[in-house]
């Protein structure tokens, strides 16, 4: 199959060898699980349980709220011991609404509905079951999968791309799941293809994963699923880039993949879909890579959602030396954190403990206008120009240079010889713009409420005036009638 050129990109040191040959192992059952109500893009889920309730594994804890939301299920059986704020896996560490579940040690499943022939289900039924299972994109975006399926089907998607790129350094969770569970993944891919009525199904895997490629090719043999080997380059696993490489199509600024007839899902999401459709199992666990120079024994573990990160670190035999930085996800786009009691969530792909040598921090110096960042940008933007405008608070100018199209991959920061944290500028500016947009929406909503109030007051006054006019007219008519009647009497 012909591959198309990808602009920009970088080749960071992979460090995948630390965990690539480590088989997936199940993490011991934690005593307590901390399950946040928002592990996805959109509105947080609404609790349907209360403190003191005994729940079974897979039981619904919180239901999706609105169109863009996702439900949350019990990762094991036990008792709900608390419902309140708990530190979130986010750089701020701010608490978020969380359900605390104390395990009873039995790990007993709720009754689930299996399907003998999932390929006989209708597209709508498949999407509905995916929604019930609380599945979100496991590649990092955590967009509700069912909504993505429905939108893609209504948009007339022709090509389904399964992302097995896993271009982030250190991470090997997708590599291992493709090696060890290729059959289930391919079945999940075929079900997703039915759900969106895709005519072409491609699985893109970087060429640094030969074992995963071989396993997926063997599992896909005889089906319409085509496994494609892609060159290893960061950020090959980004949605926009994998589409461009495999199809030659480019998502328009501000657009979605569905606009060009494409849907992208992660291979781990396909496994979750297969488990939900065939066995009725909700998304309550995921594969996580625990790695980094500070970790004693790098590994790939299947961790229940809500498991404290510290338990994953302990399972990897702890630290071999002090960690200079802790990261959830990959080192390029992951989130730094300090509190190891934060829980694993649906979007947690990795837990990295990096040494000072691995970080290689250097003090930033002035931009030398070398344009290295421009050549590295996979979207074709001008990072130096955007950063120069953000530094003087000219956000409109940064937007004019394409700030909203930036995928925050960090390629520009990685190659900058002046060690300028360019992607930090962009993330800051995006947050500021989002805050301004929220303030604008709030102002517009307030204005609408004020206009509605003024209109209501004017309507009431108008109705009162009209009622008063009617009463006056009626009174005058009555008086005229009385005068006319009196005049008739006098004439008689």
Task: Indicate the domain borders of the chain.
Answer: 25-103+122-304
167 is in an annotated binding site: no
**CA–CA distance from 277 to each of 114, 127, 250, 413 (Å)?**
7, 9, 32, 42
DSSP 302-316: EEETT-BHHHHHHHT
Helix and strand numbers (H, E) in the chain are 14, 17
d(CA 75, CA 114): 19
Are the CB atoms for 378 and 9 separated by under 8 Å? yes
406 is in an annotated binding site: yes
Among residues 147, 145, 151, the alpha carbon closest in space to that of 188 is found at 145
d(CA 145, CA 166): 19
Among residues 97, 32, 91, 88, the alpha carbon closest in space to that of 342 is found at 88
Give residue 197's Cα distance to chain centre.
23
The CATH code for residues 25-103+122-304 is 3.40.50.11540
173 is in an annotated binding site: no
Distant-in-sequence, close-in-space partners of 287: CB < 8 Å, separation ≥ 6: 24, 173, 174, 176, 177, 268, 300, 301, 302, 303
- Helix ranges (DSSP H) in 119-238: 123-132, 145-154, 173-180, 182-196, 210-220
370 is in an annotated binding site: yes
Q: Could you give the angle at the alpha carbon of 194 between the alpha carbons of 191 and 199, nearest 5°?
A: 125
Distant-in-sequence, close-in-space partners of 60: CB < 8 Å, separation ≥ 6: 48, 71, 72, 73, 74, 282
Q: What is the pLDDT of residue 492?
A: 60
Buried b (16+ CB within 10 A) or exposed e, 153-174: bebebbbbbbbbbbbbbbbbbb
Q: What is the pLDDT of residue 489?
A: 73
Among residues 322, 338, 282, the alpha carbon closest in space to that of 305 is found at 282
Q: What is the pLDDT of residue 427?
A: 87
d(CA 230, CA 226): 13
pTM: 0.87
| Dihedral pair phi/psi, residue 368, rounded to 5° | -100, 10
Ranges of residues in the chain whose predicted pLDDT is under 50: none
């Amino acid at each position: 199959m012909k591959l198309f050129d990808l602009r920009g990109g970088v080749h960071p040191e992979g460090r995948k060898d630390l965990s690539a040959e480590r088989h997936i192992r199940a993490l011991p059952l934690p005593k307590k699980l901390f399950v946040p109500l928002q592990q996805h893009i959109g509105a947080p889920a609404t609790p349907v349980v209360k403190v003191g309730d005994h729940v079974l594994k897979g039981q619904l804890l919180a239901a999706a709220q609105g169109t863009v939301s996702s439900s949350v299920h019990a990762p094991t059986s036990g008792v709900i011991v608390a419902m309140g704020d708990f530190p979130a896996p986010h750089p701020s560490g701010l608490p978020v609404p969380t359900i605390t579940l104390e395990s009873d040690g039995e790990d007993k499943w709720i009754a689930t509905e299996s399907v003998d022939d999932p390929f006989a289900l209708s597209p709508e039924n498949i999407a509905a079951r995916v929604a019930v299972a609380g599945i979100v994109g496991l590649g990092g975006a955590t967009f509700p999968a069912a909504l993505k399926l429905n939108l893609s089907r209504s948009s007339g998607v022709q090509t389904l791309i399964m992302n097995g790129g896993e271009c982030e350094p250190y991470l090997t969770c997708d590599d291992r799941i493709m090696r060890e569970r290729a059959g289930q993944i391919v079945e999940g891919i075929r079900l997703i293809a039915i759900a969106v009525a895709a005519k072409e199904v491609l699985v893109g895997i970087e060429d640094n994963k030969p074992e995963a490629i071989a396993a997926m090719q063997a599992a896909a043999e005889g089906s319409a699923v085509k496994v494609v080997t892609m060159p290893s380059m960061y950020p090959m696993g980004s949605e926009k880039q994998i589409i461009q490489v495999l199809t030659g199509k480019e998502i328009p600024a501000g657009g979605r993949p569905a606009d060009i007839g494409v849907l992208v899902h992660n291979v781990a999401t396909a496994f979750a879909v297969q488990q939900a459709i065939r066995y009725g199992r909700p998304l309550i666990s995921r594969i996580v890579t625990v790695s980094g120079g500070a970790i004693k024994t790098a590994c790939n573990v299947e961790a229940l959602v809500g498991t404290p990160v510290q338990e994953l670190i302990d399972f990897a035999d702890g630290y071999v030396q002090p960690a200079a930085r802790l990261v959830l996800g990959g080192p390029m786009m992951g989130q730094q954190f300090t509190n190891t009691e934060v829980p694993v969530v649906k979007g947690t792909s990795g837990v990295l403990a990096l040494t000072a040598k691995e970080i290689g921090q250097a003090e930033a110096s002035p931009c030398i206008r070398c344009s290295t960042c421009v050549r590295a940008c996979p979207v074709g933007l001008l990072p130096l120009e955007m950063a120069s405008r953000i530094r003087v608070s000219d956000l409109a100018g940064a937007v004019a240079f394409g700030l909203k199209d930036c995928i925050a991959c960090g390629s520009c920061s990685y190659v900058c010889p002046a060690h300028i944290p360019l992607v930090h500028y962009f993330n800051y500016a995006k947050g500021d713009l989002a805050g301004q947009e929220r303030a604008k929406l709030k102002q517009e909503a307030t204005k609408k409420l004020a206009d509605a109030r003024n209109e209501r007051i004017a309507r009431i006054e108008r109705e009162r005036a009209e009622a008063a006019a009617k009463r006056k007219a009626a009174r005058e008519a009555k008086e005229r009638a009385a005068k006319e009647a009196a005049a008739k009497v006098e004439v008689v």
